[in-house]
A and B are shown apart, each in its own frame.
Chain A
Amino acid sequence: MSQTPASYYVPDPSPWPIIAVASVFSILLGSVLSINGLFPGMMFIILGFALFAYLLFGWFGDIVRENMAGLYSEQVDSSFRQGMIWFIASEVFFFLTFFGALWYLRNVAADWLTGKGYLAGTHELLYNQFFSEWPRTGPGVKEEFTPMSAWGVPALNTVILLSSGATLTWAHWGLKAENRKLLVRGLIATIGLGLLFVVLQAWEYQEAYQHLNLTLKSGVYGSTFYLLTGFHGLHVTLGAIMLAAILGRSLKGHFTPQNHFAFEAVAWYWHFVDVVWLGLFIFVYMM
């Protein structure tokens, strides 16, 4: 890396934010069309994800090139760290909202609907035959379902994610000790475990739909189950993609024990996703 510049680096106008918006729009438009059974839906979804892949590749590449060209001052470095904290703050609130929704439904709204608490009148006004039972289908759902057991795939996935936290820590210490072999092996193991997690979750969903009759329509339990675990699975997928970018950079020898913010930011993100899963395992699967 060359000498640290004194001035704050301002990049040229970048096309990436526009491409980001276009990819998200395409995915959403495709999803809306697909839900309504219209033909071009899947095409828009594929186009959106292709654009998203192009975006990640291009934007990550620009940042890496700027960094390796030594364009970033210490102040820019601080900006990246602040950006990371704001990003994480938005992620924390994102998941807090979903965990909060689950808690509110089970501990507050269910009481009112069953005729307890200061809004007990809701029971008479809305639906006087409602009774609370968790996991429950909800009063309007006639079909029976089996809730997802905590053991089996969810417990196995917990072991897998906990192991991935260990292999990533292994890679982290390898980086600190300038042991690139350890760093690369640790990262490969972590990415492999992350992908295995996603595959097993997809299989769990398939089992839930085909054999347990647990679907998005299985009342408030089904919708919160898929909302929380689905968004977490999306985060594992994105984390694995980011770890793959870090693996590529590690193979090229971009990181030193003193300069490796990208590695630590992604590693921290992975640990965060791991902790969110522990929360899901306790509050969605066990309680």
Chain B
Amino acid sequence: MGFTFKLPALVLLALILGVLIEALYFLSKDHGDKDKTRVARALSLRASLALILFLLLIAGAFLGFIRPHGM
């Protein structure tokens, strides 16, 4: 995998992990009357970022920047 694609892919993966941890923090804090939509919003962002990462990987493979083994 070339650096051009490795860097944004790793940054996106780190962002996804960060948002997931943030959602876990909200999950531990928001309950009862204090409940908000923070967990749902963070997990929605997580799902969207994952989709962007996958599209980036597909684009990288299509444009020849990524050559997975087994190909």
Contact = CB atoms under 8 A, between A and B. Distances in A.
A268 B24 contact: yes
A77 B40 CA distance: 19
B2 to A, nearest CB: 12
- If over half of B's interface residues share one DSSP class (helix, strand or loop), that class is named, otherwise mixed; here it is helix
A166 B68 contact: no
A201 B1 CA distance: 25
A275 B49 CA distance: 10
Contacts of B57: 281-282, 286
Contacts of B54: 158-159, 162, 278, 281
Contact of A77 (B1, B31, B39): B31
Contacts of B24: 85, 88, 268
A168 B39 CA distance: 13
A1 B60 CA distance: 52
A78 B43 CA distance: 21
Interface string A54-82: 00000000000000000000100110011
A285 B57 CA distance: 12
Interface in A133-150: 134-135, 146-150
The listed residue with most A CB atoms (<10 A of its CB), out of B39, B61, B66, is B39
A147 B67 CA distance: 13
Contact of B70 (A77, A78, A150, A264): A150
A169 interface: yes
A169 B43 contact: yes
Contacts of A36: none
Contacts of B33: 258
Interface of A: 74, 77-78, 81-82, 84-85, 88, 134-135, 146-151, 155, 158-159, 162, 165-166, 168-169, 172-173, 176, 257-259, 261, 264-265, 267-268, 271-272, 274-275, 278-279, 281-282, 285-287
6 contacts: A84-B28, A169-B40, A268-B39, A274-B50, A285-B68, A287-B1
Closest 10 CB pairs of A and B: A147-B70, A150-B68, A165-B47, A149-B70, A286-B68, A81-B28, A172-B40, A258-B35, A169-B44, A169-B47
Interface of B: 1, 9, 13, 16-17, 20, 23-24, 27-28, 31-33, 35, 37, 39-40, 43-44, 46-47, 50-51, 53-54, 57-58, 61, 66, 68-71
